[in-house]
Amino acid sequence: MTLVIEDLFVREIWVGRRAPIIRIHDYDWGQTDPTPVIDCDGCAYSPINWNGPAWTLGLSLHPPEKEA
């Protein structure tokens, strides 16, 4: 897998010279999802399949900012 990083954001993701469909397990939505998927530890998550450009996901190398 190759991550193209620019200004501490993931701009592109490549696997074998192809842009893959990205799968995200969103555990925040899993608690309210009427039909959540359960992982091997029994935690509910909502699966998200992303096939748009990686930069539109907003993936950052920064830790999340803490609220005051």
C-alpha separations of 7 from 3, 47, 60, 61, 67 in Å: 13, 28, 9, 9, 23
Domain positions in the chain are 2-57
What integer is the mean pLDDT of 53-68? 77
What integer is the mean pLDDT of 11-24? 88
**68: confidence class by pLDDT, cuts 50, 70, 90:** low
CA distance 35 to 12: 31
Res 67 pLDDT > 90: no
CA distance 26 to 30: 6
What integer is the mean pLDDT of 32-47? 93
User: What token pair was written down for 17?
Assistant: 């010279």
- Say which DSSP state 16 is in: T
What integer is the mean pLDDT of 51-57? 83
Residue 38: the pLDDT is: 93
